[in-house]
Amino acid sequence: MTVTVEIALTATNDLVEGLNHLLPQLSSSASALTWSDVEVLVASPSSRLFVGRDDNRIVGVLTLVVFAIPSGLRAWIEDVVVDESTRGTGVGEALTRAALEEAKRRGVRSVDLTSRPARIAANSLYQKLGFELRSTNVYRYVIE
């Protein structure tokens, strides 16, 4: 299989459908995205939505978020998911490598991400590509 990876620049039916097919495979609590949600996402200056395709079918996505803070330009990788039917064929690796190249091209100092220990494939993928486990506490404040 030859996967192609691109950065989505416009909202299309194909993209909305692809995201809504993939997101439930990442999180059972993910809400369905509307066309307008996807328009906001692809227009965001800080977010880059990477889309992996096999023979034009969307088989995986990843979002790279780049932001400036006093200690430099930093980035997070979020919402990485590959279609169950296509896992184990290099799509996740191609998406992550493309995001890291883009981060490097933009002068980002470091790329962070989180992944639950139970996500065996994801943790293996990130470590294979050079991500190192940090010793820190991850907190979240939920805004009701």
Ligand X SMILES: CC(C)(COP(=O)(O)OP(=O)(O)OC[C@H]1O[C@@H](n2cnc3c(N)ncnc32)[C@H](O)[C@@H]1OP(=O)(O)O)[C@@H](O)C(=O)NCCC(=O)NCCS
Applying CB under 6 A, which residues contact ligand X?
A: 26, 80-82, 87-93, 115, 119-122, 124-125, 128
Closest C-alpha to 79, from 48, 57, 100, 105 = 48
Query: Angle at the Cα of 19 (from 16 to 23), degrees rounded to 5?
Result: 145
CB of 113 to ligand X, least distance (A): 6
Q: Which residue is nearest to ligand X (CB)?
A: 92
Q: Which is nearer to ligand X, 6 or 36 (CB)?
A: 6
Q: How many CB atoms lie within 10 A of CB 23?
A: 18
CB of 128 to ligand X, least distance (A): 4
CB of 29 to ligand X, least distance (A): 14
Q: Which is nearer to ligand X, 16 or 80 (CB)?
A: 80
3-state DSSP percent of the chain in helix, strand and coil, to 5: 35, 30, 40
Q: 64 with 103: CB under 8 angstroms? A: yes
CB of 93 to ligand X, least distance (A): 3
